[in-house]
């Protein structure tokens, strides 16, 4: 073995060590809060802030059961799954159609409408709360599931359209021409060509909207009144009073609420990474 090859081996070893050290550090930074949340869920209120991150000697697994029953999670869980599936579906449907139209169709004021749509991304939802409430009330949709779902779909559209349009803009037109020669209509091209190719971008839209809808709470509080219609985040409120909080149960309950989101992320992970590497996020 020559000195040169030894030198390169040593250099590669150092490079890897440094890279893995940085990646491990970042991974710990990201995972520690989740770990702390889970571990705190196994403690009592008194020990919640002692021995940060350490597994308690007597784990209170029953906290998860208490959190589920006390927080009425069964009912809220179903509601959240329902809202998330409906909203994500319609956001994907409408945003992909609109994005395709903005990317490929020529119609008057196309740029104006697109800019208007993107501008709506700048308005924070809490800033529009009162106006939204007035509108929903005028439509007679206060305290209805529809009254909650519609603003959520509306909130998810600008980002979805923005992301998918960027993706559709990059799709080779030759593919569409070939489909047209084969007799495909505009809608057929969107369905058979554009949509399957946009899977990585769709995965990003799905995961972003799933997160938003799953974690949404403020709008639900504003629009809904009946407990039976509230989403999962309402269940967490039980463990938090104006001055005090039941930290152990709150963390156990939070652990329950994040599990579905983590599962969705794991399922979509492959597509998201592909989306990032193939440029689905180039417009962000």
Q: Residues in the site for another protein, rule: CB under 8 A?
A: 45-46, 49, 82, 85-86, 89-90, 126, 129-130, 133-134, 137, 140-146, 149, 191-192, 195-196, 199, 217-218, 221-222, 225-229, 237-238, 240-246
Residue 281 burial (CB < 10 Å; 0-12/13-18/19+)? middle
Nearer CB in complex with another protein: 114/251: 251
SS (H, E, C) 109-155: CHHHHHHHHHHHHHCCHHHHHHHHHHHHHHCCCCCCHHHHHHHHHHH
Nearer CB in complex with another protein: 114/206: 206
Backbone angles phi, psi at 252, to 5 degrees: -65, -45
| 240: three-class secondary structure by DSSP | strand
Cα radius of gyration rounded to whole Å, the chain: 24
Nearer CB in complex with another protein: 48/256: 48
Nearest distance in Å: CB 163, another protein: 18
Nearest distance in Å: CB 226, another protein: 5
223 contacts 136 by C-beta, under 8 angstroms: yes
Nearer CB in complex with another protein: 118/197: 197
Nearest distance in Å: CB 88, another protein: 8
Nearer CB in complex with another protein: 141/258: 141
| 284: three-class secondary structure by DSSP | coil
Q: Which residues pair with 148 in a beta bridge?
A: none
Nearer CB in complex with another protein: 59/126: 126
Nearer CB in complex with another protein: 26/54: 54
List the end-to-end C-alpha distance of the chain, in Å, as a whole number: 49
CB neighbours (10 Å) of residue 167? 28
CB neighbours (10 Å) of residue 216? 22
Of 142, 126, 150, 147, the closest CA to residue 225 belongs to 142
Q: What DSSP line would sit under 206-262, residue for residue?
A: HHHHHHHHHH--HHHHHH---GGG--THHHHHTTB-SS-B-HHHHHHHHHHHHHHHH
Nearer CB in complex with another protein: 118/211: 211
């Amino acid at each position: 073995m020559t000195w040169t090859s030894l030198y390169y081996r040593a250099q590669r070893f150092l490079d890897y060590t440094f890279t893995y050290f940085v990646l491990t550090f970042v991974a710990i930074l990201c995972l520690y809060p989740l770990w702390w949340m889970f571990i705190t869920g196994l403690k009592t209120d008194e020990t919640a802030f002692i021995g940060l991150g350490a597994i308690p000697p007597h784990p209170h697994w029953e906290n998860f059961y208490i959190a589920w029953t006390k927080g009425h999670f069964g009912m809220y869980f179903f509601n959240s799954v329902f809202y998330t599936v409906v909203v994500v579906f319609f956001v994907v449907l409408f945003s992909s159609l609109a994005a395709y139209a903005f990317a490929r169709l020529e119609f008057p004021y196309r740029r104006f409408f697109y800019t208007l749509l993107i501008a709506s991304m700048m308005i924070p939802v809490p800033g529009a709360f009162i106006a939204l409430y007035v509108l929903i009330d005028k439509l007679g949709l206060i305290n209805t599931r529809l009254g909650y779902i519609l603003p959520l779909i509306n909130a998810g559209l600008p980002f979805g359209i923005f992301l998918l349009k960027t993706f559709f803009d990059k799709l080779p037109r030759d593919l569409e021409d070939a489909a047209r020669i084969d007799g495909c209509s505009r809608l057929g091209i969107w369905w058979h060509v554009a949509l399957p190719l946009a899977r990585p971008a769709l995965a990003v839209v799905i995961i972003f909207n799933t997160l938003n809808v799953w974690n949404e709470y403020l709008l639900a509080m504003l629009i809904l009144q009946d407990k039976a219609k509230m989403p999962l985040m309402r269940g967490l409120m039980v463990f938090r009073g104006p001055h005090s909080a039941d930290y152990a149960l709150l963390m156990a309950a939070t652990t329950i609420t994040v599990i579905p989101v983590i599962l969705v992320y794991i399922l979509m992970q492959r597509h998201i990474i592909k989306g990032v590497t193939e440029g689905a996020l180039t417009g962000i």
